Structure 1
Amino acid sequence: MSEAQSIQWFPGHMTKTRRQIEKSLKMVDAVAELIDARIPISSRNPILGELIQKKPRVILMNKSDMADPSATKKWIHFFEGQNIPAIALDCKSGKSLNEFIPLVKKVLAPQISAWQKKGMVGRTIRIMVVGVPNVGKSSLINRLSKSSKSNVEDRPGVTRSNQWFTIGKGFDLLDTPGVLWPKFEDKIVGEHLAFTGAVKDDVLDTEQLASRLLELLVRIYPQELCSRYKLDETDLQKLEGWKILQLVGKKRGMLISGGEIDTERASIMILDEFRSAKIGRITLELPEESK
């Protein structure tokens, strides 16, 4: 697939990141993994579990305001079944962000109790935030730290790429050194990241991407798609994505000289409306697909 192949990732970067994370893990008490609630499989790094080993972890399902609420509940249940507590939130608006610190305290309850027995009452809790590019890590950190530069500092003996943020009384956040990468070699992962805008559109074939998205939506969210673009669901089941793209362009009056449909314009609109949840609150991956 051309769009997946256009996405560049370098094993050398991953090796460097792996070393940095392993080194930084010694300085933190827990790890917060940020993922995109619309694509919980594709927005994760496949080796993260192996990297952090037994370190306590929480999952933050970002962009949950654009995801299917019933699917998000299934994912939270799925992660809890793996002994990883998870919450749905939205880093841009700050929705449910107040649940983050209580969740970390709950996960670290045995450790906090042990500290107290040793007389270490009020010991600062240190959390490392990890996530693949464009998953919302900066928005999360800015929200939690209130974007105050006084909360940012370089700690001695730590590489410059490590930044610590104070996010509340007795809580420090470590921004991940290096960059984690998703499993780009998987065609579906590449597509799903492209659908959600995690990959720059200028390296993609927009019409092909929109056609693929339409085929997927016909399969998993036909009612939302038909309602948005005034389409007939029974007709769509037999059509390829390219034909559906033309139908949408025609319905929206996107015509160029000679009555030809402006499929490029229609493609941009479809991708924009999917990413802004105008088509509906949509989740492209379910827990049963992760097995």
Structure 2
Amino acid sequence: MTKAKRMMQENIKLIDLIIELVDARAPLASRNPDIDELGKGKSRIVLLNKADLAEVSVNRQWMNYFEAGGCHVLEVNSRTGAGVKGINHVVQLACAEKIARDRRRGIVNRPVRAMVVGIPNVGKSTFINAFAGKACTKTGNKPGVTKGKQWIRLNKTLELLDTPGILWPKFEDSQVGMRLAFIGSINDEIIIMEELACDLLNCLRAVCPDAVTARYGIEWRENAADMLTEIARSRGCFLKGEALDLKKAAGMLTDDFRAGRLGRISLERPAQQTGKRASESEG
């Protein structure tokens, strides 16, 4: 992570625009505060990626939130390509002053150079491939696939710099780390999945309790551990004999959430920020 941050610092002077991908289900938790410091003075576009997995009305609230902070915002789904065609227009809007300045200086046809940033597993490489219409970068469903920088020339007007996902070294708010684990931005191999599943159940009980009961055909139990047990039983997750396989049930639950099989769920809402503007979180 330190090496990746240093590389971004070295290249920031070369770029005109920062395109930041965030997970629409948790837009603030999935923003790296280091990127705000690195990107001071640069035009900004925030892409609410995986927008199809978050609630429609909450996506709109987040768009208003980031626009109030001076960012251009767009909903996208990198996996299907939804919304990606609109990015060229937004790039031109975000860099209008730069383009006009170049023209006054007699510089024409100089492409906008944009750095694509975001935390691990937020979908940067998948987005670039969808935007370019071809496989330009490696992709994967686990954090850390992009190892170094890659310049991709999309057309005469735009070049993209892909960068590795960066997580900050310490979470001041434990809820942030928990939400990142829910959406898969922290490697599952270092997590106790049964505990993560219980935390996820507590979260889902607060924001969308009906989604869980509808998916697994069970009623809510007194605590999350009992609920996970019921999910294991309802889905036939057994070890040898009659012992329940709670680890398998935990993996099933988190996979169902990440894939949207529980429905469109937003883990964060702008109203929870007690009126803070996006710009206040950027410095």
TM range (shorter): 0.7 to 0.9
Pick the aligned partner of 2:90 from 84, 100, 103: 103
Structure 1 residue aligned with 2:224: 241
Matched, 1:173 2:154: no
Matched, 1:250 2:250: no
Q: Distance in 1 between matches of 2:149 and 2:196?
A: 36
Report deviation, 1:67. Answer: 1.6
Match of 1:222 among 190, 199, 209: 209
Give 1:181's aligned amino acid.
L
Checking the alignment, whether the CA contact within 8 Å between 1:46 and 1:183 is kept in structure 2 is no
- Give the 3 Å change call, closer, same or farther, for CA 281–182 of structure 1 in structure 2: farther
Task: Tell me if the contact between 2:154 and 2:160 (Cα under 8 Å) persists in the aligned partners.
Answer: yes
Is residue 191 of structure 2 the alignment partner of residue 204 of structure 1? yes
Q: Which amino acid aligns with 2:167?
A: W
Q: Select the residue among 16, 21, 42 that pairs with 1:29.
A: 16
Distance 1:161 1:277 in 2: 30
Is the Cα–Cα contact under 8 Å of residues 132 and 154 in structure 2 kept in the other structure?
Answer: yes
Structure 1 position 216, deviation (Å): 0.7
User: Residue in 1 aligned with 2:49?
Assistant: 62
Tell me the SS of whatever aligns to 1:128: strand
Q: Aligned partners of 1:104 and 1:33: how far apart in 2? A: 12
Aligned letter for 1:79? Answer: F
CA contact (8 A) 1:42 1:193 kept: yes
Give me the whole-angstrom Cα distance separating, in 2, the residues matched to 1:179 and 1:135.
8
d(CA) in 2 for partners of 1:87, 1:183: 28
Matched AA of 2:253: I
Q: 2:34·2:168 contact (CA, 8 Å) conserved in 1? A: no
Equivalent-residue separation in structure 2 for 1:252 and 1:85 (angstroms): 44
Picking from 64, 74, 92, the partner of 1:87 is 74
CA drift of 1:118 comes to 2.6
8 Å contact kept, 1:42–1:182: no
Task: Report how far residue 262 of structure 1 moved.
Answer: 2.8
Deviation at 1:256, TM superposition (A): 4.8
Q: Decide whether the 8 Å contact of 2:85 with 2:131 is kept in 1.
A: no
Where does the alignment leave 5 or more consecutive residues of structure 1 unmatched? Answer: 1-12, 150-159
What is the root-mean-square deviation in Å for CA atoms of aligned residues? Answer: 2.2
Of 224, 241, 266, the match for 1:283: 266
Q: Which amino acid aligns with 1:103?
A: V
Farther off after superposition, 196-205 or 264-273: 196-205
The residue correspondences of 1:262-273 to structure 2 (distance < 5 A) are 262-273=245-256
Partner of 2:111: 124
Instruction: Give the secondary structure class of the aligned counterpart of 1:65.
Output: helix
Alignment-mate amino acid for residue 206 of structure 2: R
Specify the alignment match of 2:143 in structure 1. Answer: none
The 5-angstrom pairing of residues 136-215 of structure 1 reads 136-147=123-134, 161-176=148-163, 179-182=165-168, 184-185=170-171, 186-215=173-202
Conserved 8 A contact 1:245-1:267: yes
Task: With the length of structure 1 as denominator, give the TM-score of the two structures.
Answer: 0.83
**Distance in 2 (alpha carbons) for counterparts of 1:168 and 1:43:** 29
Structure 1 CA distance for aligned equivalents of residues 35 and 57 of structure 2: 26
Unaligned runs of 5+ in 2: 137-146, 277-283
Deviation for aligned residue 1:210: 0.8
Identity of aligned residues (%): 33
Tell me how far apart the structure 2 counterparts of residues 122 and 75 of structure 1 sit (CA, whole Å): 34
| CA distance, structure 2, for counterparts of residue 77 and residue 109 of structure 1 | 21
Q: How big is the shift at 1:121?
A: 2.8
Moved more, 83-92 or 19-28: 19-28
1:128 and 1:174 in contact (8 A); partners too: yes
Contact 1:66/1:280 (<8 A) preserved: yes
1:64–1:72 Cα contact (<8 Å) kept: yes
Alpha-carbon distance change, 249 to 161 in structure 1, aligned in 2, over 3 angstroms: closer
**Whose radius of gyration is greater, 1 or 2?**
1
